[in-house]
Protein backbone atom coordinates (compact mmCIF):
# COMPACT_ATOMS: atom_id res chain seq x y z
CA UNK A 1 0.00 0.00 0.00
CA UNK A 2 1.43 3.32 -1.08
CA UNK A 3 1.42 6.01 1.58
CA UNK A 4 0.19 9.40 0.55
CA UNK A 5 2.41 12.29 1.53
CA UNK A 6 1.16 15.77 2.17
CA UNK A 7 2.27 18.30 -0.41
CA UNK A 8 3.56 21.81 0.25
CA UNK A 9 0.35 23.54 -0.87
CA UNK A 10 -1.82 21.47 1.49
CA UNK A 11 0.58 22.06 4.36
CA UNK A 12 0.47 25.82 3.76
CA UNK A 13 -3.34 25.70 3.74
CA UNK A 14 -3.34 23.78 7.04
CA UNK A 15 -0.95 26.30 8.56
CA UNK A 16 -3.23 29.14 7.48
CA UNK A 17 -6.40 27.46 8.81
CA UNK A 18 -4.76 26.65 12.14
CA UNK A 19 -3.34 30.17 12.38
CA UNK A 20 0.20 28.88 12.67
CA UNK A 21 3.11 30.59 11.02
CA UNK A 22 5.91 28.59 9.43
CA UNK A 23 8.29 30.22 11.91
CA UNK A 24 6.28 28.99 14.92
CA UNK A 25 6.29 25.32 13.92
CA UNK A 26 8.90 22.82 12.86
CA UNK A 27 7.59 22.14 9.36
CA UNK A 28 9.14 18.70 9.03
CA UNK A 29 7.69 17.52 12.35
CA UNK A 30 4.31 18.99 11.45
CA UNK A 31 4.38 17.37 8.01
CA UNK A 32 5.22 13.99 9.55
CA UNK A 33 2.37 14.34 12.05
CA UNK A 34 -0.13 15.22 9.32
CA UNK A 35 1.12 12.25 7.27
CA UNK A 36 0.47 10.00 10.28
CA UNK A 37 -3.07 11.37 10.61
CA UNK A 38 -3.72 10.75 6.91
CA UNK A 39 -2.41 7.19 7.36
CA UNK A 40 -4.85 6.65 10.26
CA UNK A 41 -7.73 7.71 8.04
CA UNK A 42 -6.57 5.35 5.31
CA UNK A 43 -6.59 2.49 7.83
CA UNK A 44 -10.07 3.48 9.01
CA UNK A 45 -11.36 3.68 5.44
CA UNK A 46 -10.46 -0.01 4.97
CA UNK A 47 -13.21 -0.85 7.45
CA UNK A 48 -15.82 1.33 5.77
CA UNK A 49 -18.76 -0.82 4.76
CA UNK A 50 -20.28 1.87 2.61
CA UNK A 51 -23.28 2.24 4.89
CA UNK A 52 -24.79 5.60 5.62
CA UNK A 53 -24.25 6.24 9.36
CA UNK A 54 -27.49 8.22 9.47
CA UNK A 55 -29.48 5.11 8.55
CA UNK A 56 -29.14 4.00 12.18
CA UNK A 57 -31.46 6.81 13.26
CA UNK A 58 -35.17 6.78 12.56
CA UNK A 59 -36.30 9.30 10.03
CA UNK A 60 -38.94 11.87 10.89
CA UNK A 61 -41.41 13.03 8.34
CA UNK A 62 -42.34 16.70 8.44
CA UNK A 63 -46.04 15.81 8.30
CA UNK A 64 -45.81 13.95 11.61
CA UNK A 65 -44.26 16.84 13.50
CA UNK A 66 -46.27 18.93 15.91
CA UNK A 67 -48.08 21.88 14.43
CA UNK A 68 -46.85 25.41 14.91
CA UNK A 69 -49.80 26.50 17.02
CA UNK A 70 -49.61 29.09 19.76
CA UNK A 71 -51.19 27.99 23.01
CA UNK A 72 -51.53 29.91 26.25
CA UNK A 73 -48.83 29.29 28.82
CA UNK A 74 -48.95 29.41 32.58
CA UNK A 75 -50.28 32.46 34.29
CA UNK A 76 -47.74 34.30 36.44
CA UNK A 77 -49.84 33.68 39.56
CA UNK A 78 -49.69 29.92 38.92
CA UNK A 79 -45.94 30.03 38.33
CA UNK A 80 -45.40 31.80 41.65
CA UNK A 81 -47.34 29.04 43.45
CA UNK A 82 -45.02 26.31 42.11
CA UNK A 83 -42.18 27.28 44.41
CA UNK A 84 -41.23 29.78 47.03
CA UNK A 85 -37.98 30.43 45.17
CA UNK A 86 -39.57 32.74 42.60
CA UNK A 87 -38.44 36.34 42.89
CA UNK A 88 -38.65 39.27 40.46
CA UNK A 89 -39.81 37.04 37.61
CA UNK A 90 -37.01 34.47 37.99
CA UNK A 91 -36.56 31.12 39.72
CA UNK A 92 -33.74 31.07 42.26
CA UNK A 93 -31.58 27.99 41.69
CA UNK A 94 -28.52 26.63 43.49
CA UNK A 95 -25.17 27.93 42.33
CA UNK A 96 -23.58 25.33 40.07
CA UNK A 97 -20.34 27.03 39.12
CA UNK A 98 -17.48 27.77 41.44
CA UNK A 99 -16.85 25.88 44.64
CA UNK A 100 -16.85 22.10 44.54
CA UNK A 101 -17.44 21.74 40.82
- Residue 30 inside a domain? The answer is yes
Averaged over successive runs of 10 residues, the pLDDT of the chain (101 residues) comes to 73 86 79 86 78 73 80 84 81 75 51
- Residue 1 inside a domain? The answer is no
How many domains does one find in the chain? 1
Could you list the residue range(s) of the whole structural domain that residue 34 is in?
8-45
What single-letter DSSP state applies at residue 86? E
CA angle, residues 81, 76, 95, in degrees to nearest 5? 65
Instruction: Give the closest residue to 37 by CA, choosing from 8, 3, 13.
Output: 3
- Residue 15 inside a domain? The answer is yes
Q: Which helix (H) or strand (E) holds 39?
A: helix 27-45
Please report the beta strands in 1-101, taking only residues with DSSP state E, as ranges in sequence order. Answer: 86-87, 90-91
- Residue 88 inside a domain? The answer is no
pLDDT at 45: 79
Amino acid sequence: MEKKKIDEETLEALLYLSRLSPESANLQVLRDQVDQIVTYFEVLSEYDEGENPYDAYPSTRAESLRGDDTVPGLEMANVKRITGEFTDGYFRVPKVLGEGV
